[in-house]
Structure 1
Amino acid sequence: MTTLIKLEIVRALRNKKFMFFSVIYPPVLYLIIAGGADSKPIPGMKLDMGLYFMVSMAAFGAMTAVLLGNSERIAKEREKGWVRQLRLTALPGRGYVAAKMAAAATVSLPSILLVLIVAAVVKGVRLEPWQWIAIAVGTWLGSFVFAALGYLATGDAVRPISMLCYFGLAFLGGLWMPLTILPQWVQNIAEWLPTHAYAALGTAVEAGGAPHLKDVAILAGYLLVFTAGAAGLYRKDTHKA
């Protein structure tokens, strides 16, 4: 399993096109969205737009790396029979999922750090040292939740399904705009989505507190469901002729 994890990490780092869009795209998007943002507090929150979008774009960038890149790579491997070949090595489903998550996490970390650096240097965001560390670590660890989602589609369906999950979860989770300015029914739905809980890890730290236990529990629940589903589909694929 360790060998496969190393192989997946090397493959991810060698994909220069994917690395460019996964690492450079989020901080550029942050500057575009937060470029005209003022320092006025967001209604219903203790944060201003610059702080809010720093966390949301770091989360969005990590999601880009772990969801879009992983999904197409996994779909191609399933179609070409690579999964069945791996089964000959007695690799368990959890090993395959762990390798994919490790590769995705390798790409997501630089993206997260770059957004934080741009926020500090260009936008003048100032936080305590422990807050910077907590936001970076929390956003990185939270990205693992989305890494297994790429196993849910195959073939031509993988791109539209991935994009639907990608943009749908991003919008409803409040990554594009603060949920407090959206209708109440949207807020009620978002409260139970993984993207909302994911971004809430960082916004809670920015406000000077610790992540809420409810958000941590929601992410942990989704992580168990997604990884169990991916491992189950892996085992199902290996039994196909």
Structure 2
Amino acid sequence: MRFVAEYVRIQVLELLRLPSFFLPLIALPAAFYLMIGVRADLPAAQILFSYLAFAMLGTMMFQFGVGVAATRNDPWNLYLLSLPVSSRVRVASQLIAGLFFAVLFSLPLLLIGVINGAVFTVAPGRFLFGIGALIIGGLVHGALGLALGYWLPARGAVPITNLIYFPLAFIGGLFGTWDLGALQPLHTFSPTGAWADLINSALLGESNRQALAILGGYLLICGFVAVWGYRRVEQTQYR
């Protein structure tokens, strides 16, 4: 755990010094929520949590999908690859650091939710369950982002991540509930769809074992692919 904590500290300090990294990820979800979300014809808490999930999804997908792919071969990362630390430590520390920023970037949305009263439309206990569901989904999509980051080519990371990011947000209903008709199973079994279902169930005070099982499956698969990709990069550079 000492190595994980140190890696998390280094990554947090590194990214806090890059306003170009965190300012867009803070502003975009808040702007979308103010322009579109507050006018949606759905329960206020459900809309707020959908946009909180959207904020976390953007942080996880772009920090890991684009960020990792773009910096795989920079001198600092090559130095880190030379250190005697296991791939599991590096992947775990990246997930924790990403989750830290995902929560940090969600604070402006929560502040807006306090101002417009959306936060107070749900009981405190259910609100905390909703936060827990957000964190579970954030870890899953962080693992997905890392899997992309260690396998995507650096030059193709941005367009490919965008091609995955926005469709996932749409299919998952993070911009509002959509009737997909015959394609509804795409929502149910997509990572964002299971995430949205878990959040909505938590806000209603209900359990959702199916959504948890789907998210657990994605976490295992994406975590395995991320570790595999990290080891591939490591071996490419030093073996």
How high is the TM-score relative to the length of structure 2?
A: 0.87
Deviations 1:180-208, CA, capped at 9 Å, x for gaps = xx232221211100001111222112223
2: distance between equivalents of 1:201 and 1:23? 24
- Which of 30, 33, 49 is equivalent to 1:30? 33
Letter in 2 for 1:183: L
The one-letter code matched in structure 1 to 2:227 is A
| Pair 1:103-2:97 in alignment | yes
In the alignment, which residue of structure 1 is the partner of 2:204? Answer: 207
Aligned length: 229
Alignment of 1:187-202 (within 5 A): 187-202=184-199
Any idea what the Cα deviations from partners look like across 1:62-81, whole Å, max 9, x if unmatched?
A: 00111112222211232336
Give the superposition deviation at 1:93: 1.2
Q: Letter of the 2:226 partner, please give it.
A: A
Task: Name the Cα RMSD after superposition.
Answer: 2.0
Unmatched segments (≥5 aa) in structure 2 = none
What aligned pairs does 1:44-193 form with structure 2 within 5 A after superposition?
Answer: 48-80=42-74, 82-125=76-119, 126-148=121-143, 149=145, 150-179=149-178, 182-193=179-190
Match of 1:19 in 2: 22
Structure 1 CA distance, aligned partners of 2:133 and 2:156? 31
Tell me the equivalent position of 1:235.
231
Is the CA contact 2:45–2:118 (under 8 Å) kept in the aligned structure 1? no
Give the TM-score taking structure 1 as reference length. 0.86
Query: Are residue 223 (structure 1) and residue 219 (structure 2) matched?
Result: yes
Which has more helix, going by share of residues?
Answer: 2
Over the matched positions of the two proteins, sequence identity in percent amounts to: 25
Pairwise CA distance, 1:83: 4.8
Determine if contact 1:83/1:234 at 8 Å carries over to the other structure.
Answer: no
3-state secondary structure, aligned to 2:83: coil
Amino acid paired to 2:151: L
The answer (yes or no) to whether the contact 1:194–1:218 under 8 Å persists in 2 is: yes
Distance in 2 of aligned mates of 1:195 and 1:128: 24
Rounded to whole Å, the distance in 1 between the matches of 2:49 and 2:60 is 17
